[in-house]
Structure 1
Amino acid sequence: MPETDLSAPVAAFLAAQGYSVKSEVANCDLVAVRDGEAPVVVELKQRFSLDLLLQCVDRLAVSDTVYLAFPAESAGTAWKKRRKAVLKTCRRLGLGILVLRAQPDGSYAVLPVLDPGAYRPRVNAKRRGRLLKEFANRIGDPNTGGSTRVKIMTAYRQDALRVAAALADGGDRAVAELRPEARSTAVAGLLQRNVYGWFERVSRGRYRLTPAGQTALRTYAETVRGLAGTQC
């Protein structure tokens, strides 16, 4: 069962409890936020492993509520043979466990085997701030939890696409002209940093789209349409 197939049932499980859920936020497979509460982080894997455990320990730097999630049918030898020890370890670390079990109709039930305990590791306020900022700034939920070897659609990439779309006519334009069309006050920074190589400085304060930028608009055409009318 691919990790991406785990994303939808776990997201639905959290959404049913009143959480807003987004995928692939700040290197976390799933992040769920509910008013007035710390974020819930879920890491998805095809089976329980040391790598998954270590990954979730790292996520404790951004949230006190972190879950490991994997399907029961392919949970791995460590889980099946040493379940008691695994539960004890996760409990001491303050981690939770969600197990997905296949149903006769082909769907998956999410079973909370262990909820995060009272252990409070030191939370990295800076990393949590970056995670919540990315969650708040990202438009919609354009990624699939558990994705690997694909480019993640971040809030920054969405903002850059908005600016690229404003330059789509092929001419060069001044930053002041682009701000209202791109609906952003951060246009100058995006153009100057030019992280993706989409923009070219023609003269002081004037930019145009590069061939790479034109390719990006074609590649992300559906995303660009979805961003129309949104605010950076």
Structure 2
Amino acid sequence: MIIIELKLTLNITLLLQAVERFTLSDNVYIAIPKQATIYKNKQKQLKKLIARLGLGLIIVDIQKTQQYVEIINDPKDYIPKKNKRKQKALLKEFNSRQGDTQKGGSTNKNAGLTAYRQRAIRIAEYLLQSSPASGASINKAIDEPQATQFLYNNHYGWFDKVQRGLYTLSEKGKAELIDWQEKKIVIN
């Protein structure tokens, strides 16, 4: 037995109805118009979601000149492919962080504190107390092996070069450091 849930739009109600049909059959499809907004805008994500639910997807196109029905995918068990590169990057970021600095539900782009920014903050805090300093001396003092690289790249514009190999905290760095220190959670 094959069950097809046919609707004019794809929404959570349709997905719930289709999943409920698994009590009757292992072959459940959802069918939506090709012109459905969500299908046009989020085709790739939609296909993944429907496959993950174990559903089949049928696209129906009814135009004056031609009409057709296309089976996009058949129902089957879904086993997602792992992206090893992204997985490794995520674990590296997670393991590099100190504490949990993300407030739940935050949407502000400054709400999250990356591991990179945490490391830059530690260097800026050191320079606030002991300026000017070299990357090697910062590395020795706060155990930051890439201190020299942080100073040289100066990604946030927080560091000023005093002379070759010596840096101090810029005015921008001093101003932004105060804001970021309030968001930082340190774990000893």
Q: TM-score, normalised by structure 2?
A: 0.59
Contact 1:174 1:207 in 2 (8 A): yes
Q: Looking at both structures, which has the greater relative contact order when contacts are Cα pairs under 8 Å and sequence separation is at least 6?
A: 1
Aligned twin of 1:149: 108
Contact 1:199 1:210 in 2 (8 A): yes
How far residue 170 of structure 1 moved from its aligned partner, in angstroms, is: 7.0
Aligned twin of 2:146: 186
Distance 2:12 2:103 in 1: 26
Aligned twin of 1:78: 11
Contact 1:162 1:227 in 2 (8 A): no
Work out which of the two has the higher radius of gyration on C-alpha atoms and give 1 or 2. 2
Q: Does the alignment pair 1:122 with 2:81?
A: yes
1:19-98 alignment runs, 5 A limit: 78-85=11-18, 90=49, 92-93=51-52
The one-letter code sitting in structure 2 at the alignment partner of 1:92 is A
Aligned twin of 1:131: 90
Contact 2:159 2:173 in 1 (8 A): yes
Unaligned residue ranges in structure 1 (runs of 5+) = 1-76, 96-116
How far residue 193 of structure 1 moved from its aligned partner, in angstroms, is: 1.4
Could you tell which deviates more after superposition, 200-209 or 140-149?
Answer: 140-149
The one-letter code sitting in structure 1 at the alignment partner of 2:115 is A
Q: Does the alignment pair 1:220 with 2:153?
A: no
Q: TM-score, normalised by structure 1?
A: 0.49
Structure 1 residue ranges (4+ consecutive) displaced by more than 4 angstroms after TM superposition: 86-89
How far residue 198 of structure 1 moved from its aligned partner, in angstroms, is: 0.6
SS in 1 for 2:78: coil
Aligned twin of 2:119: 159
Distance 1:94 1:155 in 2: 35
Query: RMSD across aligned C-alpha pairs, in angstroms?
Result: 2.9
SS in 2 for 1:173: coil
Structure 2 vs 1, CA of residues 212 and 165 (structure 1 numbering), >3 Å: closer, same or farther? same
Contact 1:200 1:208 in 2 (8 A): yes
Aligned twin of 2:160: 200
Unaligned residue ranges in structure 2 (runs of 5+) = 1-9, 21-27, 29-46, 55-75
Aligned twin of 1:51: none
Structure 2 vs 1, CA of residues 123 and 155 (structure 1 numbering), >3 Å: closer, same or farther? same
Contact 2:52 2:77 in 1 (8 A): no
State the number of aligned residues: 131
The one-letter code sitting in structure 1 at the alignment partner of 2:99 is G
Pick from 99, 103, 107 the counterpart of residue 140 of structure 1.
99
Q: Equivalent pairs: percent with the same residue?
A: 31
Distance 1:146 1:192 in 2: 35
